[in-house]
Amino acid sequence: MKENKKLLVWTDQYDTAWGEEYQAEHPDATDEEIMNAWYEEADTSFHDEIANLNIPVDGEILVIKTLNLWNGQKICCSVIRRNTIGDLLERFMDGNTFYVDAETGDFICEAYHHDGTNYYRFREISADAPNDHIDDLIYKIEDGEKYDRELHAFTNPFGGRIAKVYGWEANANDAE
């Protein structure tokens, strides 16, 4: 995936600076105690972010998945329902990072595993998007065809709504 400015929502990836600060406050802590404290911190912040993103989702959600597997890359899609944006936060793999791409406004999860990194791109399907158009969009994505025009015509990014929660500037061309 192209690297853009990532506005971090949540990650369970160990933060060395956090570990150094924790160790300065707890000089006798063992490596195991530091890691356990990190896991506890990450778990608490995970639930905090779900609550922070208690923003209603009115329609269905298109998930564009770029799966990096042991036998190569596969791109597929699914349509899901969630009540809030916070409900999209899930622990997909061994490690997870959720962020807003500041350029596109897309809400993305990077899910790390032993074979690589999977990417989950979440976009809300427009209420007036005909089902056959969404089916065609999914076909184009999975078939490797160009699909940007249809994606922007029939779906909206979550970035603007998420950016308001955190006071960020991100592409806000999504539906309010």
- Greatest distance between any 2 Cα atoms in the chain: 62
Return the H-helix or E-strand segment holding 76: strand 72-80
- Whether the per-residue pLDDT at 68 is higher than 50: the answer is yes
pLDDT tens profile 45-60: 999 999 999 999 999 9
pLDDT at 175: 43
pLDDT tens profile 86-108: 999 988 778 899 999 999 999 99
DSSP state of 56: B
pLDDT tens profile 109-150: 999 988 889 999 999 999 999 999 999 999 999 999 999 999
Phi-psi region of 21 (alpha: psi -120 to 50; beta: other; left: phi over 0): alpha
Q: Where are the beta strands (DSSP E) in 102-174?
A: 107-113, 116-125, 155-157
Lowest mean pLDDT among 2-11, 28-37, 84-93: 2-11
